[in-house]
Homo-oligomer: A and B are copies of this chain.
């Protein structure tokens, strides 16, 4: 199988490595507009060769779109316009509603598989690609009933080989859920980093004590603007709903501390502790 990966950064590059490591592809072609990143990707073995978008799509059995989410809907249409008879196109994006709306009426909609592997790190670009990505991490397949059975099966085979559990959802449900369990975490990390960096202007030693707890809550603040602005804007209304609720929760805590409301704090913390059900 010849796989064509558009965008050889963290996600696309790691997928290239995974496909090779698990012998899921005979040939991996890539597209990368930035020349420096293109030669870096080749050097790192993320793809065998770099080809123009049109050439790659026409020649590939499977085209993977792994670019920032705001570029995916248009690339999806252009890819569907050019694939061969049995060609399949899948994306790796973190938002799905706009994408699924844009491709909905395309004559070849059934060759597309809307895919979101719930894996990532706070790093980006070809050098961020790692072996072993995706393994054990949930993959969301959106609107699977709109994909042809053979197209869906091809994507399922890849992630089954990578030992990634699959879950099936509508696009709207996906975007709501990712707002709660992924997008808001990035916003709180950005805000926490800036809260302390703001203080550093007047107190240069504020980070001297930064340790494990701080690191884990602020780690995602290293994530790139190029990746995250399109995600936050592409999922704007869900993200705003969650953000309003999150600010509300913080204001409740603030009022409890102001009023020495230890009872309220205890209920609040006991409730938060039940997150143990979810994460080990």
Contact = CB atoms under 8 A, between A and B. Distances in A.
A248 to B, nearest CB: 8
Number of copies: 2
Contact of A118 (B182, B190, B209): B209
Interface stretch (A84-92, A106-114, A226-234): A226-234
Contacts of A218: 185, 275, 279
Given A208-B138, A257-B236, A222 B275 contact: yes
Interface stretch (A25-33, A59-67, A258-266): A258-266
A270 interface: yes
Interface stretch (A5-13, A155-163, A192-200): A192-200
Interface string A65-84: 00000000000000000000
B251 A247 contact: yes
A97 interface: no
Interface in A228-248: 228-229, 232-233, 236, 239-240, 242-247
Interface of A: 118-120, 137-138, 140, 167, 176-178, 180-182, 184-199, 203, 205-225, 228-229, 232-233, 236, 239-240, 242-247, 249-251, 253-254, 257-258, 260, 262, 265-266, 268-276, 278-279
Contact of A216 (B194, B219, B244): B219
A213 B272 contact: no
Nearest first, the 8 closest Cβ-Cβ pairs linking A and B are A225-B269, A193-B272, A191-B249, A193-B275, A190-B272, A185-B217, A221-B272, A181-B210
Contact of A257 (B188, B189, B233): B233
A206 B180 contact: yes
Contact of A197 (B209, B240, B251, B272): B272
